[in-house]
Structure 1
Amino acid sequence: MEEFVWPDPPEQTAFPVAKAGYPFIFSAAFATAVFALLGLVVPALLGLFATLCICCFFRDPDRVVPNVEGGVVSPADGKVIFVGPVAENPFMEGPALKISVFMTVFNVHVNRVPVEGRIADVVYHPGKFFSANLDKASDDNERNAVILETSRGERICFVQIAGLIARRIICHVKQGDTVRKGQRFGLICFGSRLDVYLPAGAVPRVQAGDKVQAGTSLLGSLI
């Protein structure tokens, strides 16, 4: 058995950028060009800096996924801010193991599928824009929940949660889609959080404070 697998074909560029970032990048580059043509040196330099920052934010590096049976990979880059059992959640019946990953503006914001399976439902909730590292962000912020069923009938849920700066959640999967572990499924613009709800019997492989990468870091194992 291979130790790692490619969930998506590798990009043919040295610095892959998510397509959702193109409008932001082109707008900033256009403004920079206008400032430069007008001879406005300081605004042009600030525009160039902003363009480079936006390119960095929307970077979309290729990832290989550990081929571990029952392994659940992180759907996001960032810092684990919560690991523990919850008695209930809005998306699945009964208790669950909840793992939350907080992303700053410096993290890669492309989100990846934690386990292979079929998308059972996608549920969008409008909401507020509190800082995504606060506990109340899970319940009050704008969020998009993806519920997935594995081939063994287990259900997990991963929730994209908008943050203080984020104002756009992008999700490319829909009900009925079959997805691979580590496959790209969306992103959140400018700082956010991912909550993952696993079956109560799942075993965590991380603890609060750990740094994780989408698609490559194991969050837990399904028994």
Structure 2
Amino acid sequence: MTIHREGRTLLFVLLIILFALNWGVFYLFPTSPYTQNGVIFASVLFYLIILQFFRNPIFDITKHDNQVLAPADGKVVVIEETEETEYLKGKRKQVSIFMSPVNVHVNRMPVGGNISFYKYHPGKYLVAWHPKSSTENERTTVVVKMKNGVEILFRQIAGALARRIKCYVQEGQSLEQGQEFGFIKFGSRVDIYLPLDAKVTVKIGDITKGGRTVIAELK
């Protein structure tokens, strides 16, 4: 387990602020141990909460050319046939994973291949489970073209708390299955669009682990 680079500066600055706050409390209330202990407890608890947002587990990726891995930790909230209108221009199976504030927020490649399309969309910050969040919220669209020519599209979608999406890919880049491609601060949602003949291997309510849980099998 490591701390993700997206959180290192924030955690360092927060540590200094909390240290200064506690020093101030000890200086202003030198004879009030209840106040001092209360502030220390609250500071440690708050710091640990923020710290867990940026944890980055280390594990081995098991790669399968015909399997699709979960791009994020979270809960499966949508499995449906839908129309993808931005790039694929056709019907696809959509699987959506909701990332809560307690989930790991690293996003990983569901399949390996070359990035054939990338676009950032500014937008709103509706709650991630809102039906219009996929089309109206701040989001990124990424399309990866596999060796067999199949293209898989996925989106990072901001939510009410997630006000910063980080996506590290660029068009033409080659990435392996399970490799980190982005990070969403404080949780949100990832949508993935699969071919209609893909066999979805998860169901609504299932808990996924990014880069480890198989969510679909491709024909």
* Aligned with residue 109 of structure 1, among 95, 105, 118: 105
Asked if 2 retains the 8 angstrom alpha-carbon contact of 1:118 and 1:176, the reply is: yes
Name the structure where helix makes up a greater proportion of residues.
2
Aligned counterpart for 1:143 among listed residues 139, 142, 151: 139
8 A Cα contact 1:118 1:179, kept in partner: yes
Distance of 1:87 and 1:143 partners within structure 2 = 18
Amino acid at match of 1:88: E
Please say if residues 4 and 56 of structure 2, whose CA atoms lie closer than 8 Å, have aligned partners that are also in contact: yes
Q: 1:65 aligns with which of 45, 61, 64?
A: 61
1:98 aligns with 2:91: no
Query: How many percent identity over aligned positions?
Result: 36
C-alpha distance in structure 1 between counterparts of 2:46 and 2:160, whole Å: 19
1:1-223 alignment runs, 5 A limit:
15-40=1-26, 41=36, 42-223=38-219
- Determine helix, strand or coil for the equivalent of 2:205: coil
Structure 1 unaligned blocks of 5 or more: 1-14
* Contact residue 29 and residue 47 of structure 1 kept, 8 A: no
Q: Distance in 1 between matches of 2:12 and 2:41?
A: 16
- Size of the alignment, in residue pairs? 209
Q: CA deviation at 1:44?
A: 4.1
Alpha-carbon RMSD: 1.3
CA–CA distance in structure 1, aligned partners of residues 111 and 218 of structure 2: 10
1:48: Cα distance to partner?
Answer: 2.3
Stretches of 4+ moved more than 6 A in 1? Answer: none
Measure the CA separation in 2 of the matches of 1:36 and 1:132: 36
Q: For 1:36, what is the secondary structure of its paired residue?
A: helix
TM-score (norm 1): 0.89
Give the CA deviation at 1:45: 3.3
Contact 2:83–2:89 under 8 Å retained in 1: no
Q: Deviations over 1:135-166 (max 9, x none)?
A: 11111110011111001111011100000111
Q: Which runs of 5+ in 2 are unaligned?
A: 27-35
Q: Which SS does the other structure have where 1:21 is aligned?
A: helix
Greater radius of gyration (CA): 2
Change over 3 Å in CA distance of 1:31–1:44 after alignment to 2? farther
